[in-house]
Amino acid sequence: MNRHLLSAGDLSRDDALLVLDTAADMDAALAGRSIKKLPTLRGRTVVNLFFEDSTRTRTSFEVAAKRLSADVINFSAKGSSVSKGESLKDTALTLEAMGSDAVVVRHSASGAPHRLANWIRGSVINAGDGTHEHPTQALLDAYTMRRRTGRVEGLQVAIVGDVLHSRVARSNVLLLYTLGAEVTIVAPPTLLPVGVTAWPCAVSYDLDAVLPKSDVVMMLRVQHERMHGGFFPTTREYSRRYGLDAERMATLPDDAIVMHPGPMNRGVEIAAEVADSVRSTIVEQVANGVSVRMAVLYLLLGGLIDVSGADEVAA
Ligand code: NCD
C-alpha cells in the first residue's frame, strides 16, 4: 500500500482486496468484544480536516480511529483560522506540528488532498475532494456488495444520476473496474462529465433498459448545492426519468440490491419505499464504512505501529 490514499485508481487489485479482507478481520475482531476497541493505534493521532460539510464520513472516520484507540482531532474550517484567511498549507503544517500521523481531508477543491500530500510527512486520506474522488466511499461500497452478494467480480453495477458532480461515482468506477465488476453509468446527458467516454464503464441514458440486467443499482444524490444553472427541466421530470421508485425497482432481478451513499433526497432520486425496502443497503453502507476506514487507517499507519498492536488485530 502507498502511504496515502488519494484516489481509488491508485489501488491495485491486491491493495483493494487487502483493504476489504482487513475490514472483514476488523469486523470479526470486534464482534467478540464487549468493549468495541482495539489497542492497535494507541498513541497515534488522526486529524479530521473538514473544509466541507459532512455527517457520515467525518463521524465514520472518527469512530474508526477511536475504535483503534487513536487520538482524534476534529478540525472544521468554520470557527478556525481558515475563516481569517489561513491557507490550506499553513493549516496543515500547524496540525502536523502538533504531531498528527494521518490527516483525513475533505475539501471543495478537486486535488486539495494531493497538494497536502506534498507538504506533510504523515499519511493523507482523501475523504472527498470537490467533484473528483472519494476512495473510502468506493471501498465501503465494494465491501457492502461483497457482503451482500458474495462477490464483486462479474457483478453488473448501474450507477445512476448526478455523475457530473459526484466524486462517489468516479471512485466507484475506478475501483469496480479494478475488482472486475462491469459498470454502467446512467444519467441525462447534462449530468455526465466531459470525457466520461474514457472512463472504464458503459454509458446509458435509459434507466429502464439497464435495471433488468443489474445486480446492483447505486443511486446518486442530485447535488443542488453544486448546480449553477438548469441541468434538467424540473425535479419532477428528473424523478420521472431517473428516479428509482417501487415500480421501477420491481424490474430488477430478484436478488439485486439498491445502494445510496447518502445523504438522500427522498422523493427525488430515490423513493422512500425503495430506501426503506429489504433490497436497500443504505444503513449497512454506513456501518461498513467504519470497518473499512478502520482497515485503511490500520494499513496506512501500519508501518508505524508496534507488533504487539498488530497482533491484537490478527488474533
Ligand atoms: C457523498 C459525498 O459527500 O461525496 N456523501 C458521502 O460521503 N457519504 C455524496 C453526496 O454528497 O451526495
Q: Are 191 and 163 in contact (CB under 8 A)?
A: yes
- Which residues in the chain land under pLDDT 50? 304-315
What is the distance, to the nearest Å, from the Cα of residue 277 to the centroid of all Cα atoms in its chain?
22
Look up 55 and say whether it is catalytic. Answer: no
pLDDT at 315: 39
Atom of ligand 1 nearest to the CA of 168: 4
Of the candidates 4, 67, 134, 170, the residue annotated as catalytic is: 134
Q: Which residue is closest in CA terms to ligand 1's atom 7?
A: 57
pLDDT at 83: 66
Q: Which three cell numbers stand for residue 30?
A: 470486534
Mutate to test the pocket of ligand 1, among 134, 285, 290 (most ligand atoms within 8 A of CB): 134
pLDDT at 313: 46
Look up 57 and say whether it is catalytic. Answer: yes
Contacts of 31 (CB under 8 A, 6+ apart): none
Mutate to test the pocket of ligand 1, among 52, 53, 55, 57 (most ligand atoms within 8 A of CB): 57
Q: Whole-prediction pTM value?
A: 0.94
pLDDT at 20: 98
pLDDT at 40: 93
Dihedral class, residue 270 (left if φ above 0, else alpha if ψ from -120 to 50, else beta): beta
Look up 37 and say whether it is catalytic. Answer: no
- The CATH code of domain 135-281 reads 3.40.50.1370
Look up 293 and say whether it is catalytic. Answer: no
Contacts of 248 (CB under 8 A, 6+ apart): 207, 208, 211
Of the candidates 40, 57, 144, 184, the residue annotated as catalytic is: 57
pLDDT at 311: 44
Q: Cα 223–228–231 angle (5° rounding)?
A: 70
- What is the 130 CA–ligand 1 centroid distance (Å)? 10
- What is the 264 CA–ligand 1 centroid distance (Å)? 9
Whether 4-134+286-302 and 135-281 share one fold: the answer is yes
pLDDT at 279: 98
Q: Which residue is closest in CA terms to ligand 1's atom 12?
A: 221
Length reported for the chain: 315
Domain boundaries, the chain: 4-134+286-302, 135-281
pLDDT at 256: 98
Instruction: Kindly list the protein residues whose Cβ atom lies closer than 6 A to any atom of ligand 1.
Output: 56-57, 128, 134, 137, 167-168, 221, 223, 261-262
Specify the residue for cell string 510527512. Answer: 121
- What is the 263 CA–ligand 1 centroid distance (Å)? 6
- Helix axis angle for 13-31 and 282-301, nearest 10°, is 110
- What is the 33 CA–ligand 1 centroid distance (Å)? 31
Look up 224 and say whether it is catalytic. Answer: no
CATH architecture of the domain formed by 4-134+286-302: 3-Layer(aba) Sandwich (3.40)
- What is the 261 CA–ligand 1 centroid distance (Å)? 6
pLDDT at 77: 76
- What is the 262 CA–ligand 1 centroid distance (Å)? 6
